[in-house]
Amino acid sequence: MTKLFLFDFDGTLVDSAPDLISSANYIFDVYQKKSISYEEGREIASDGVNAYLRMRFDNNFDTLTEEFLMHYSNNILNNTVFFEGIPEVLELIKKRNLYWGIVTNKSRVLTEKILKFYGLLNHADILICGDDGLTPKPSPEMLIRACNSLDVDTNDTIYIGDGLRDIQAAISAKMKSVLACYGYLKTNDDIESWGADFFIHHPDEIIHLVNS
């Protein structure tokens, strides 16, 4: 029986791509580089800041990353929203007296800034972020830590994410894996080969997993 629902953050719970793409284009403009389209930027929105920087720069990533993150942090709430249906899913999980949490490679300060803005900072039963000192996904370490913190067996846990690293981490942690196909997949992703237990195309489909 599923007792714990763990979620990736960007591309699974929240649609943060618009603010990430805007921040990338801000940096590109400062350095007189060609901007990227929304479609180009959305595909790599789960891959971190360096994925954007590598599109236009070959080096000096430390300085560029700092500039990117400063601008992004100041503009992180301009257009970032929870995907349609996610608030209702989280509410249903609570009504079923089940646990839910977030395991993300995103930094804690940025993740908490978004959660606080939407009034959900203290609603998650567990929040583990990429700078908490654990090995990031695709390592299963963060997922296993989340389960241990709530005294829930990994076999009674489902992890929902939109990238290959999410599925790999869930499989390694011996928990059920769900690929959020509404997230930031790339056009050439061979998702059938990833080994996910479930594929969903809208957050509403998570309700079936909660009710099963």
Contact (Cβ atoms closer than 8 angstroms) between residue 189 and residue 164 = yes
Strands (E) in 44-183, as ranges, are 81-82, 99-103, 126-128, 157-161, 176-180
CA 205, distance to chain mean position in Å, is 18
pLDDT value at residue 60: 84
Mean pLDDT of the chain: 97
What is the mean pLDDT of the segment spanning 138-165?
A: 98
Q: Which residues, in sequence order, are CB contacts of 192 under 8 Å at separation 6+? A: none
Confidence band, pLDDT 50/70/90 cuts, at residue 109: very high
Asked if the model's pLDDT at residue 212 lies above 90, the reply is: no
Burial of 26 (0-12, 13-18, 19+ CB in 10 A): middle
How far is Cα 98 from Cα 92, in angstroms, rounded to an integer?
Answer: 9
Asked if the model's pLDDT at residue 18 lies above 90, the reply is: yes
Show the tokens assigned to 68: 């990117």
Beta bridge partners of residue 7, listed in sequence order = 102, 160
Q: What is the pLDDT of residues 24-81, one digit of tens each?
A: 999 999 999 999 999 999 999 999 999 999 999 998 899 999 999 999 999 999 999 9
Per DSSP, 60 falls in state: -
Per DSSP, 136 falls in state: P
How far is Cα 181 from Cα 191, in angstroms, rounded to an integer?
Answer: 9
The set of catalytic residues is 8, 10
Beta bridge partners of residue 100, listed in sequence order = 5
How far is Cα 91 from Cα 180, in angstroms, rounded to an integer?
Answer: 19
Q: What is the pTM of this model?
A: 0.96
